């Protein structure tokens, strides 16, 4: 996400990086395609909602790149030599808005993230000197599986980088830090549930060291910086009514042979006041995912790496993986309650614009704030399955009781329609029962049977 300034010959060196939980270190090696690389330097950057590392890579052929490292997500970017005529058409940083399309090198890309970040430290060999007060101004764009970064750090005319998402396994990384090395340096094991006392009220807060940037105290709702060496209060909490949690913070489950822990929960409301709960899960190998609890039931959601290729704001449909999804809803949402740990800064009052699309039981959601846009994919999860995963830590209804909330919603609606129909036809029925009962029965069947079919489709 940062410049590759080959023209800067003086290699700068910095120190005093913030100790973190990244498994990468100076000297880590790997392979991208058939080219071997070595990590020779890094810088750390912080923005209002979190922090990330940029590792400087030197390939055996002398080419350099950057490896972005944020919350266990990794991307490699390299400078792309764009046609000078096309460079004049690149967007102005101040005009960028998440969710809007911009032409870059002959194709439309969707603005995903616009950040101004401060460099807070660095180490090893770097292609430029970074002094106090250095800021990075970067914008990420997505198109299907492609993404582009525009770096405005040094000039209104940006440097263009193309990138791809990677994993440490896919790059066959060696000389990574193991858990014991990280524990000795940072004081705790990465990914293991820990606790600290809230600096504001003293209450205990469970969190996952090294992967959570912000804590929200369940007792006093203070926002706490969990990315610094010493936990510090970012903002005093507002007094809000406690929200009962269907899954307890700290609850663990083994899902698809991977261990997950519930680390955070927030309650959101839409423009009409409808509310729902979202539970943030973390797995050491799987990263972050969500369990969403609504009046219709439960669903599991994951952030998407593959975006719609031809997305445009307000479009009635989007296509992902050759499947077409139709627009369902477009609404604003606000966080009304938050507690636990999150990998970004969250607080009551945070607002997001949400667009939902559906194809069968699969739903896509595009969520847009002033700084970023994300896409997620969700599928239904039966309450019985959640009970099997989390045991006594799951307090929700299961079996027929759980189905009442959402699994019979079409049949329940059909019953209300049928009763209303019978009520307005009560007099004709009494006056000529033998001639009207069959038509009434036929009408009721025409309403109820499709509802029964749709409810059973939702279960499958």
* Residue 374 domain-assigned (yes or no): yes
Rounded Cα gap, residues 203 and 206, in angstroms = 10
Rounded Cα gap, residues 145 and 307, in angstroms = 6
Residues 133 and 49 in one domain: yes
Residue 69 main-chain phi, psi, to 5 deg: -135, 100
Does 440 have pLDDT greater than 80? no
* Residue 78 domain-assigned (yes or no): yes
Q: Final residue of a domain: which of 151, 166, 181?
A: 166
Rounded Cα gap, residues 51 and 249, in angstroms = 24
Q: 17-26, 130-139, 235-244 — which is least confidently predicted?
A: 235-244
Among residues 97, 9, 5, 89, the alpha carbon closest in space to that of 54 is found at: 5
Residues 371 and 419 in one domain: no
* Residue 162 domain-assigned (yes or no): yes
CA 410 to chain centre: 31
- 216-218-220-225 Cα dihedral, nearest 10 degrees: -20
Q: Final residue of a domain: which of 166, 181, 214?
A: 166
Residues 380 and 420 in one domain: no
Q: How much is the average pLDDT of 157-161?
A: 92
Residues 362 and 383 in one domain: yes
* Residue 54 domain-assigned (yes or no): yes
What is the pLDDT at residue 311?
82
Q: 57-61, 144-148, 370-374, 377-381 — which is least confidently predicted?
A: 144-148
Residues 359 and 449 in one domain: no
What is the pLDDT at residue 28?
97
* Residue 173 domain-assigned (yes or no): no
Beta bridge partners of 253: 260
Rounded Cα gap, residues 20 and 1, in angstroms = 19
Residues 240 and 369 in one domain: yes
- CA geometry: angle at 456 spanning 450 and 460, to 5°? 140
Q: What is the mean pLDDT of the chain?
A: 79
pLDDT in tens, 52-92: 899 999 999 999 999 998 866 788 999 988 877 777 789 99
Does 40 have pLDDT greater than 90? yes
Among residues 180, 176, 178, the alpha carbon closest in space to that of 167 is found at: 176
Rounded Cα gap, residues 35 and 39, in angstroms = 13
Residues 394 and 413 in one domain: no
Helix (H, G, I), strand (E, B) or coil at 128: coil
pLDDT in tens, 165-181: 888 889 999 999 876 77
What is the pLDDT at residue 412?
52
143 or 283: which carries more pLDDT confidence? 143
As a whole-number percent, the residues of the chain with pLDDT over 70 amount to: 68
- List b or e across 250-275, with b for residues whose CB sees 16 or more CB atoms inside 10 angstroms: ebebebeeeebbbbbbbbbeeeeeeb
Does 209 have pLDDT greater than 70? no
As a whole-number percent, the residues of the chain with pLDDT over 90 amount to: 38
The answer to whether 457 and 451 are in contact (CB under 8 A) is no
* Residue 307 domain-assigned (yes or no): yes
pLDDT in tens, 388-439: 999 999 999 887 555 444 444 555 555 545 554 554 454 454 455 455 555 6
Domain count, the chain: 3
Range of the domain at 284: 191-398
Rounded Cα gap, residues 293 and 297, in angstroms = 6
pLDDT-based confidence at residue 101 (cuts at 50, 70, 90): very high
- 247-252-257-258 Cα dihedral, nearest 10 degrees: 100
Rounded Cα gap, residues 418 and 423, in angstroms = 9
What's the whole-model pTM score? 0.73
The answer to whether 351 and 334 are in contact (CB under 8 A) is yes
**Ranges of H-type helices in 99-177:** none
The answer to whether 11 and 126 are in contact (CB under 8 A) is yes
Residues 80 and 140 in one domain: yes
Residues 6 or more apart whose Cβ sits within 8 Å of residue 412: none
Q: How much is the average pLDDT of 234-242?
A: 53
Residues 119 and 196 in one domain: no
What is the pLDDT at residue 185?
60
Rg, C-alpha atoms of the chain? 26
pLDDT-based confidence at residue 226 (cuts at 50, 70, 90): low
The label of the residue with tokens 């870059």 reads 104
* Residue 275 domain-assigned (yes or no): yes
**Ranges of H-type helices in 133-253:** 179-186
pLDDT-based confidence at residue 12 (cuts at 50, 70, 90): very low
**Ranges of H-type helices in 105-221:** 179-186
What is the pLDDT at residue 407?
44
pLDDT in tens, 131-146: 667 788 999 999 888 8
Rounded Cα gap, residues 353 and 374, in angstroms = 11
Residues 355 and 255 in one domain: yes
Does 33 have pLDDT greater than 50? yes
Rounded Cα gap, residues 5 and 24, in angstroms = 23
* Residue 123 domain-assigned (yes or no): yes
Q: Phi-psi region for residue 115, left (φ > 0), alpha (ψ -120 to 50) or beta?
A: beta
Q: How much is the average pLDDT of 187-205?
A: 60
What is the pLDDT at residue 175?
93
């Amino acid at each position: 996400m940062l410049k590759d300034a080959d023209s800067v010959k003086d290699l700068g060196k910095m120190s005093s990086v913030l100790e973190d939980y990244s498994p990468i270190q100076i000297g880590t090696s790997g392979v991208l395609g058939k080219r071997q690389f070595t990590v020779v330097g890094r810088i750390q950057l912080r923005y209002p909602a979190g922090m990330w590392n940029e590792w400087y890579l030197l390939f055996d052929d002398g080419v350099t790149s950057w490896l972005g490292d944020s919350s266990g997500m990794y991307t490699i970017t390299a400078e792309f030599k764009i046609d000078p005529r096309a460079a004049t058409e690149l967007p102005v940083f101040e005009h960028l808005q998440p969710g809007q399309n911009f032409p870059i090198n002959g194709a439309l890309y969707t603005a995903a993230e616009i950040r101004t970040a401060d460099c807070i430290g660095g180490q090893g060999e770097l292609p430029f000197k970074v002094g106090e007060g250095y800021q990075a101004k970067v914008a990420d764009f997505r198109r299907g599986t492609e993404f582009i970064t525009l770096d405005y750090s040094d000039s209104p005319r940006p440097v263009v980088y193309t990138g791809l998402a990677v994993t440490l396994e896919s790059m066959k990384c060696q000389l990574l830090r193991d858990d014991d090395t990280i524990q000795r340096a940072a004081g705790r094991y990465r990914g293991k549930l820990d606790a600290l006392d809230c600096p504001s009220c003293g209450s205990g807060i469970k969190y996952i060291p090294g992967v959570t940037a912000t804590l929200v105290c369940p007792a006093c709702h203070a926002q706490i910086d969990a990315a610094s060496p010493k936990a510090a209060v970012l903002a005093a909490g507002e007094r809000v009514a406690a929200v009962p949690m269907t899954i307890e913070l700290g609850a663990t489950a083994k899902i698809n042979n991977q261990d997950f822990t519930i680390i955070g929960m927030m309650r959101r409301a839409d423009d009409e006041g409808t509310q729902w709960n979202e539970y943030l899960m973390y797995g050491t190998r799987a990263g972050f995912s969500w369990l969403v609890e609504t009046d219709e039931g439960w669903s599991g959601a994951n952030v998407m790496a593959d975006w719609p290729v031809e997305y445009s704001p307000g479009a009635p449909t989007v296509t992902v993986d050759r499947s077409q999804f139709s627009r369902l809803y477009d609404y604003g949402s606000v966080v009304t309650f938050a507690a636990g740990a999150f990998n970004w800064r969250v607080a009551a009052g945070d607002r997001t614009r949400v667009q939902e699309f559906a194809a069968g039981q699969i739903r896509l959601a595009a969520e847009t704030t002033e700084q970023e846009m994300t896409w997620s994919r969700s599928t239904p999860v039966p309450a019985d399955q959640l009970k099997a995963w989390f045991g006594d830590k799951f307090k929700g209804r299961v079996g027929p009781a759980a189905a009442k909330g959402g699994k019979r919603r079409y049949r329940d609606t059909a019953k209300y329609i049928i009763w209303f129909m019978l009520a307005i036809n009560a007099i004709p029925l009494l006056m000529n029962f033998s001639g009207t009962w069959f038509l009434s029965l036929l009408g009721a069947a025409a309403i109820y049977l499709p509802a029964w079919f749709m409810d059973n489709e939702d279960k499958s």
